[in-house]
Structure 1
Amino acid sequence: MASLAPPVCEFGRPAPAFVLSDTFGTPRSRDQVMGPRGMLLAFICNHCPYVRAVIDRFVRDAAALQGLGIGVAAIMSNDWEAYPADAPEQMSVFAARHGFTFPYLIDTDQSVARAYGAVCTPDFFGYDAKGGLQYRGRLDASRKEAGPADLRRDLFEAMRMVAETGAGPAEQVASIGCSIKWRAA
């Protein structure tokens, strides 16, 4: 299984609009996800070993960021017909098992992943309160295995900076993960 790293952050790039349903069938828009101090979107899936290595840390950091006024959502864009572990009913189980405090959205036609330029799972996009991209980096230095508990919290620190100043860090380390599982054209 080859790993991919997304491109460097395009500071200020606007967050594309979307409306996606969560695992309960409730539609959620970009504007509903946006918090008063910004928004964090995480393209994830259930089966990826990179996601599995960091999911509990991501949930911890997402809850802390929500407390700082950052809206959070996770988006699953994989072809779940080819990868049944990522099917919507499995998403509900995954979200409940890990205690998600944010919606887990289904990108059925993969158009949102394409609009954002997501390439891997996990792929994190952090926006300021005006919807401009400020962070496109990793959660921490974990890979397919969770790193030590004292790893620097790159995503959390970057998004706390966005919440406090409106700007993300100039230095960012790209996330790494499995490729998004695209449907055949």
Structure 2
Amino acid sequence: MSMTLSNMLPLGTIAPEFRLPDTNSNYDYSFSDLKGSLGTLVIFMCNNCPFVLHAIEEIEMISNDYRVQGIGVIAISSNDVLKNPHDSPALMTAFAFDNKIDFPYLFDATQEVAKAYDAVCTPDFYLFDSNDKLMYRGQLDDSRPHNGISLSGNDLRGAIDSIIYNRTLKEPQKPSEGCAIQWK
């Protein structure tokens, strides 16, 4: 998979609505069903991207730290499973179990949700406030596989804290970097 930078959807964009199957529960959920009282984090990810695998423990810690504070967390996989069979719904369920992911991990079979969010890489992070307005899109932190920088989640954590504690967001927001979404 080729390394890709996120497209940086314009701030203030209202969260595109969707209804997708959750591979953790076998229920279909919409954005509205899963949004948090203070804000919502949408993460485009997949099972086998080295960037996701590098960050998955920090993603889970962020989820655990902030869901109790009113931030909804949603993960979505939009990869074409014909090109990338490792991202089939059954293997998404196994990946979630193996990595102790206890937030919804949704499957975007048509790839329409990824297109609506202008997502192009995994992981790709989108943070919306309580009014569903995009407040942050970009990287988790400066750590990448093999660059020697420890994971901290500083960029994303700072953005979430700005929503929870009504602080000014750090600028500039840096794009996420990861594997290109495998399009049909």
| TM superposition score normalised by structure 2 | 0.93
Aligned length: 183
Displacement after TM superposition at 1:58 (Å): 0.6
Distance of aligned partners of 1:96 and 1:152 in 2 relative to their CA distance in 1, 3 Å threshold: closer
Hey, what's the Cα distance between the residues in 2 that align with 1:106 and 1:29? 12
Q: CA RMSD in A?
A: 1.7
Instruction: For structure 1, list consecutive stretches of 5 or more residues without a partner in the other structure.
Output: none
Displacement after TM superposition at 1:34 (Å): 0.8
Hey, what's the Cα distance between the residues in 2 that align with 1:82 and 1:26? 25
| Counterpart residue number, 2:98 | 97
Displacement after TM superposition at 1:6 (Å): 1.2
| TM superposition score normalised by structure 1 | 0.92
| Counterpart residue number, 1:41 | 42
Hey, what's the Cα distance between the residues in 2 that align with 1:5 and 1:64? 26
Distance of aligned partners of 1:88 and 1:7 in 2 relative to their CA distance in 1, 3 Å threshold: same
Give SS of 2:93's match. helix
Given residue 59 of structure 2, which amino acid in structure 1 is its aligned partner? Answer: F
What pairs with 1:9-158 in structure 2 (closer than 5 Å)? Answer: 9-23=9-23, 24-145=25-146, 147-149=148-150, 151=152, 153-158=154-159
Distance of aligned partners of 1:3 and 1:25 in 2 relative to their CA distance in 1, 3 Å threshold: same
Percent identity of equivalent pairs:
38
Tell which deviates more after alignment, 147-156 or 44-53.
Answer: 147-156
Hey, what's the Cα distance between the residues in 2 that align with 1:21 and 1:12? 27
Instruction: For structure 2, list consecutive stretches of 5 or more residues without a partner in the other structure.
Output: none
Displacement after TM superposition at 1:147 (Å): 4.8
Hey, what's the Cα distance between the residues in 2 that align with 1:9 and 1:82? 26
Tell which deviates more after alignment, 80-89 or 127-136.
Answer: 80-89
Hey, what's the Cα distance between the residues in 1 that align with 2:114 and 2:167? 24
Hey, what's the Cα distance between the residues in 1 that align with 2:30 and 2:148? 34
Distance of aligned partners of 1:104 and 1:20 in 2 relative to their CA distance in 1, 3 Å threshold: same
1:178 aligns with 2:165: no
Give SS of 1:82's match. coil
Distance of aligned partners of 1:150 and 1:182 in 2 relative to their CA distance in 1, 3 Å threshold: closer
Displacement after TM superposition at 1:63 (Å): 1.3
